[in-house]
Amino acid sequence: MKKVLSFLLSGISVFLMLVMVCLLIFQQIEISRINATLETMQAEYLLLAHEMDNDNTEKNPDSQAVGDVQNAGDIQSASNIQSASDTISTSDTIDEGKDDRTEREEILTPDSSGDGVGYHGFLHFDGTVLKDQYGNDVSLRGVSSHGLLWFPEYTNPDAIRTIKEHGANVFRIAMYANDANGGYSLDREKSMDLMTRAIDNAKSEDMYVIVDWHVLSEQDPNVDIGDALVFFDEISKKYGDDPAIIYEICNEPNGATTWDMIRNYGNQVIPCIRNNAPSSIIIVGTPQFSYRVNEVVGFGFGFENIAYSFHFYAGQHPEEYRQIVDECLANNVPVFISEWGINHDAGGDEAYESAKRFVYFINERGLPWCAWSLCNKDECFSILKNDCNKLSGWNESDLTEAGKIVFEGLSGNNK
> How far apart, in whole angstroms, are the C-alpha atoms of residue 89 and residue 48?
9
Q: How many CB atoms lie within 10 A of CB 54?
A: 20
Active-site residue (options: 165, 205, 248, 252): 252
Active-site residue (options: 205, 218, 339, 408): 339
Secondary structure (H, E, C), the chain: CHHHHHHHHHHHHHHHHHHHHHHHHHHHHHHHHHHHHHHHHHHHHHHHHHHHHHHHHHHCCCCCCCCCEECCCCCEEECCEEECCCCCEECCCCCCCCCCHHHHHHHCCCCCHHHCHHHHCCCEEECCEEECCCCCECCCEEEEEEECCCCHHHHCHHHHHHHHHCCCCEEEEEEECCCCCCCCCCCHHHHHHHHHHHHHHHHHCCCEEEEEEECCCCCCHHHHHHHHHHHHHHHHHHHCCCCCEEEECCCCCCCCCCHHHHHHHHHHHHHHHHCCCCCCCEEECCHHHHCCHHHHCCCCCCCCCEEEEEEEEECCECCCHHHHHHHHHHCCCCEEEEEEEECHHHHCCHHHHHHHHHHHHHHHHCCCEEEEEECCCCCCCCCECCCCCCCCCCCHHHECHHHHHHHHHHHCCCC
Task: Please confirm, yes or no, whether 252 is among the known catalytic residues.
Answer: yes
Report yes or no: 207 and 243 within 8 Å, Cβ to Cβ: no
Exposure string over 330-355, b if 16+ CB within 10 A, otherwise e? eeebbbbbbbbbbbbeebeeebbebb
Task: Please confirm, yes or no, whether 44 is among the known catalytic residues.
Answer: no
Side chain identity at residue 41, one-letter code: M
Nearest to 117 by CA among 132, 97, 101, 135: 132
**Catalytically annotated residues:** 252, 339
